[in-house]
Structure 1
Amino acid sequence: MKKWIKKAASVALVTTLLAGCSFGGKEESSNTPQALKVMYHDENSFYQEYGMLFSTIYPEIEISVVTMQSLYRGNNTSEDGEEFDFEKAKKELIEKEKPDILMLDMLQYEEFALEGKFTDLDAYIVRDKFDTENLVPGMIDYMKELGGGQLYGLPSGFSSQVLFYNKSLFDKYNISYPTDKMTWDEVLQLAKQFPIDGEKEDRIYGLKAGYSGGLSELANSIAGSEGLSYVNPATKTMTINTAGWKNAIQTAYDAIKSEALYFEAQNNNMMSFSSGYNDYLLRNPFTTNRVAMTLDGSYYIREMKEAAESYSKEEGKVIKDWDMVTIPVSAQNPDVSRSTWYNNIFSISKDSPNADAAWKFISYISSEEHARVKSKLTYNNGFSIHTKYIKDDEGHNYEAFYKLKPVKPSMDYKEYEKLPKQFNMMFYNFMEEELKEIQDGKKSVDEVLSILQTKGEELLAQESMTDEEIQKMWQERYEKQMQEEAGNIDTVVVE
C-alpha cells in the first residue's frame, strides 16, 4: 500500500511538468506489470531525478530502490572491529540485493565492466534504433574504452569546467580573446597583458587562479593538465624530478611573480556570516569586472545571471558581456581534460531477469525526450548528454563544456593502495613547504625537485601508519593550520 501511494504521489507531482510536452514517436507502454530494482544513493533523490518522470511514462513498471545510505553513514569499523571497506560493502550489498540496474561513477563502471558484471547495450541500441548521433561527442567511444571495447552503460549527465572571460575587459585593453584548447602557458601569457597598477582591492587582474596563491596549488594544476604525477604507485617510485615538473613549477612561479593573478586568500576575500545572498553573488571578482578570466563550472553561469538581475539598476556593477572557452590543456594531448566527468552511469546487471525493463529505464533517461523535459527545470545536476540542450539564447560558447573528452587515468587507482597510507598527505605537505622556499626566493627549482625526489623515496620506504596514527596526524595538522590562520587575522587587525 505504501509503495502504491508513493507511486501515485510521484505521478501527481510530475503531471504539471509534463503537461504540454510532446512525446511524439514514443513507444506505447505495455500494460504487463513488471518489477525493477535500481541501486541508487537514496530513494527520495532517485524519484526526484528520474523516478517520477519514468513512472509517469511507464506506470506498469514497479520500481524499488536499493539505497546506499547505510554505506554513507561514516562507518569506520565493521562489527568485527576491522576498518570499514566501502567498496567491499558495496559489492556485498549488490550481491545481497541483486539490483537490475546499478548506478556507478566512472571508476566503478570500469572496474565492474572489466569483471564482466554487465549486459552489453549495443544489441538494444541497434534493435530500438536508439539515437546516439546527437549525444556528447566522444562519450560513447569513451564508455566503450572504459568497458574494454563494449558499451555497458550510459551516463545521465556530465560535469566539466571552462575558462570564462570578460569580453569588455579584453576589448578595453585591446587584447585578443582566449580560444579553445589553449595551454596553461598561453592563458598565463594572456593574463600578463593586463595592467597591474593600482591598489589590490580595486585593480584589474588577468586571471583568478585559485585560492591560496601558493606555488604548490598552481604548479599542481599545471602539472595535472599535463598528466604528470609525482609518484608511480605500481612501481613505488618517485617521478617528480623531471623536466615536465620543472616546467610546471617554473611556469607557475613566473605567473605568480608577474602579479597578474588573483588569489582569494591574498585578497582577504572573506565574507561574514551575516552577509546576504546578494553579497555572496559579488564575492567572485570576475562577477564585478575586476578579473579578466576565471576557471569555473556551469553553476557559475547561474550566479552571474542572478547577480545581473539583482543589480540591474546599477550600470557596470556586475559583468554583462562574457563568454567561455575550454580550460587549459596539454600541448601534447589537447583534446582531453581531467576536469570532465560523466555522472551517474547506469548499467544493467548481467544476470538481471528484467533486462528489457531495465533497458526501457536507461533508454528513457538517456533520451532526448527526457533531456527536453529536464531542461525546463532551473537546477539540474550537471548537463544533459544531449548537446541540443546545452546552450542558451545568447549564443555563448557552451560547446566549451563538452569539446574536451575525459582522459582515462594512466594508473589504476587501486595501485595507490600499495603505498604507505600516510604517503600522499605527508608528501603533499612537504611539497607545499619546499615550493614555498622557491616562491620566497630561498631555493632554486632544481634544488627543490632533488629534495622532493629524495624525501618521497624516504616516505615510500616507510611502513604504513595505523588509522589511529593518521587520525592523530590529521588532528595536529588541523590545529596548526587554525593557529596560523588565527595569527594571520591578528596581524590584519593590528595593521
Structure 2
Amino acid sequence: MNIAVNGRSKTTRTLGWHWLAVSIVGFALVLSGCDKHEEAAAAAPKGVLRIAIGNENTFEYMYADYFAAKFPELEVQIIPTEGIYGPGKKPLQELTKLIDQEKPDLLFTSSFDYEKLASQGKLYDLSALMEKDRFDLDNLLPAAVDYLRIKGQGSIYGLAPKFSSSVLFYNKELFDRYHIPYPTDQMTWADMFRLAQRFPAEGGKGERVYGFHMGYMSSPQDLADYIGQAQGLGMIDAEGKKLLMQTDSWKRIYQLVMDGYRSGVLQWNYMPGKTRYEKEDVEAEDLFSIGRTAMTISNEGQLNALRQRGAAFEWGMVGTPSADPGHTRNPNFYLSPIYSINAQAEHVKSAWEVIKYFNGAEAARIEAKTSNDLPVRKAFAHEMDGHSLEPFYQVKYEETVQGGYNENVPGTFIEKYRSIAKQQVDAMLTGEVTVEQGLQRIQEQGQQALDEAYAAEVK
C-alpha cells in the first residue's frame, strides 16, 4: 500500500509484527460472515482518502495493516496534525485552520476537539449514513452514545471504538486482615474516606500501609481538584474570566481532603519537576500493585500494572465514589480517538466505510484478541485474570461531570495558579490557615493572577 504524505509517496515498511496483524485481520474476515447486518458488503472503496492524524508513523503503527487488509485499493494521504501543538499555539484554532486549508476527509479527534468542531459546523452528521446502512448503535456502550449525542447537540458526528474510565480498586486481603468491610458501589466520597481512616497507621518507611492512595498526584490539591471535577464543579467560569473557588461545595471537598491527609491514612509522593519516571518512581506512584494501599482509583491500565508486577493478593473493583449515592459520575470517562468526517469532505463514502469498519463487530473482535483496551462494544470485553470488567461499564455520561479544558484561559495563568494553590494547601495542612481562609486566599490571589494574565495578552 502506498501512503502519500503531503504529496510525497512512500511505501510502507513490512515488519515482522505487521504480518501477524495482517494474518489476524485475514482470519477475522473469514469468520465475519455473520456480521453482515452493519458491515455488509459494499464494494471496497477506491481512490484517495485524506486522513488528518498525528503523523505518518502514528498511522503506520496503528492502522496501516488494517488498511492493507481491508481497504487495499485506497490511496491514503496523511495530513499531519502534530504541528498544531507548541508554545504559544492554540491547538483548536490551529486544527480548524488545518481542516480549512488541507481539506482532510477523515479526522481522528479528541473528546474536546469533537465537541468544538461539531459546534463550528466542521463535522459531517453521520445520522443519515448510519440509518442507510442500519449501523448498530444498540450494542454500543450507552455512555459513549450519550456522550457523542450530547457533545454533538443532539446529532452524532463521530464514532469511537474504545473508551477509558476508572473504578475503585481494593485489596481484599488488607480489608480482611483488619476486619474492615469491602467498599461497595454507590459510595459517597465521605464513605470512602471513612473506610480509609479505619486502617491503622503502622509500619516504617517502605512498609506502611495506607487506606487510600492515588498515583501521580503532586499534592492534596490534585485530589481535591479530581473530586471537584467528579462533582461537576468548575474552577473557572465558562468564559474563562472568573475564578469560582470560594464556594461551599469546594470548602466541603477541601475539608474532606485535608482531614484525610492530616490523619495520615492518605499519602502522596511529591517529585517537583519530575519528567522522567524510572522503575522505582513508577512503583512509588503505584502503591496498590505492590500491596501497600487498601484502595486506589485508577483506569484500565491498573489491570496491566497488577499483572506486570505479579500482584499475588486478591483484589476487587467497584464503581468510583460520587457526591451522593445513586450517581455514577466519573471524571475519567472519555472516548479516544473519535472517528469523524470533515463536513466539506470530498470522499465522504470512503471515509464512512472506514469509520463503519473500525467501529463494527469485526474490528472489535480483532482488537479483543490483540489489545487490553476497553471496547465500546461490550460483547467483546473479555475478563482480566478472572475479574469481570463490568464495573467499567457501569459508567454513565453526565454533562456536568466534565469540567473540560477551557482554551480561553491564558497558558501563563495555569502555572501561576498552581503555585498559589499549593502554597495555601500547604498552609491548610499545617493548620496555619483554616480551609475557609485558604480558599479565600486562593480565590483572591488566583483572580488577580488571571486578570494579569489576560492583561499581558493584550499588550
How many angstroms apart in 1 are the aligned matches of 2:217 and 2:401?
28
Of 26, 36, 40, which residue of structure 1 is paired with 2:53?
40
Q: Which moved more, 1:338-347 or 1:43-52?
A: 43-52
Is the alpha carbon distance of 1:212 and 1:278 closer, same or farther for their aligned partners in structure 2, counting shifts above 3 Å?
Answer: closer
Q: What residue identity is the alignment partner of 2:60? A: Y
Over residues 413-464 of structure 1, what are the superposed CA-to-partner deviations in whole Å (9 max), with x where a residue is unaligned?
68662x5654333233112111211211112222223333332343344363
Q: CA deviation at 1:166?
A: 0.8
- Residue 18 of structure 1 is matched in structure 2 by 25
Counterpart for residue 444 of structure 1? 434
Could you tell me whether the CA contact under 8 Å between 1:216 and 1:431 is conserved in 2? yes
* 1:38-437 → structure 2 map (5 Å cutoff): 38-72=51-85, 74=86, 76=87, 83-210=88-215, 214-232=219-237, 234=239, 236-265=241-270, 284-308=286-310, 318-331=311-324, 334-378=327-371, 382-392=373-383, 394-408=385-399, 417=408, 422-437=412-427
Distance 1:409 1:39, change over 3 A: farther
2:6 corresponds to: none
Instruction: State how far apart, in whole Å, the 1-side matches of 2:317 and 2:13 are.
Output: 43
Conserved 8 A contact 1:341-1:406? no
Between stretches 38-47 and 250-259, larger displacement belongs to 38-47
Q: 1:125 deviation in Å?
A: 1.8
Q: Which runs of 5+ in 2 are unaligned?
A: 4-8
Give yes or no for contact 2:229–2:401 (8 Å, CA) kept in 1: no
| Letter of the 1:23 counterpart | S
User: C-alpha distance in 2, partners of 1:59/1:155?
Assistant: 23
Q: What is the identity, as a one-letter code, of the residue corresponding to 1:431? A: A
Query: Which position in structure 2 is the counterpart of 1:474?
Result: none
Deviation at 1:2, TM superposition (A): 5.1
Q: CA RMSD in A?
A: 3.3
Size of the aligned set, in residue pairs, is 443
C-alpha displacement of 1:248: 0.7
Which stretch has the larger CA shift, 180-189 or 45-54? 45-54
Partner deviation per Cα, 1:325-351 (whole Å, 9 max, x = no partner): 222222288232211111011111223
Q: Which amino acid aligns with 2:331?
A: R
- CA change 1:302–1:351 in 2 (3 A) is same
Deviation at 1:208, TM superposition (A): 1.0
Moved more, 107-116 or 454-463: 454-463
* 8 Å CA contact retained: 1:100, 1:348: yes
State the identity as a percent: 28
**Is contact 1:37-1:100 (8 Å) kept?**
yes
Deviation at 1:147, TM superposition (A): 0.7
Letter in 1 for 2:362: E
The higher radius of gyration belongs to: 1
Instruction: Flag structure 1 segments of 5+ consecutive residues without an equivalent.
Output: 77-82, 309-317, 470-495
Give me the whole-angstrom Cα distance separating, in 2, the residues matched to 1:235 and 1:55: 45
Shift of 1:13: 5.7
C-alpha contact 1:420 1:462 (8 A) present in aligned 2: no
Aligned partner of 1:314 in structure 2 is none
Contact persistence 2:420–2:446 (CA under 8 A) = no
In the alignment, the residues of structure 1 paired with residue 407 and residue 10 of structure 2 have an alpha-carbon distance, to the nearest angstrom, of 47
The amino acid of 1:392's aligned partner reads: E
Structure 2 CA distance for partners of 1:447 and 1:372, relative to 1, 3 Å: same
Give the CA deviation at 1:296. Answer: 1.9
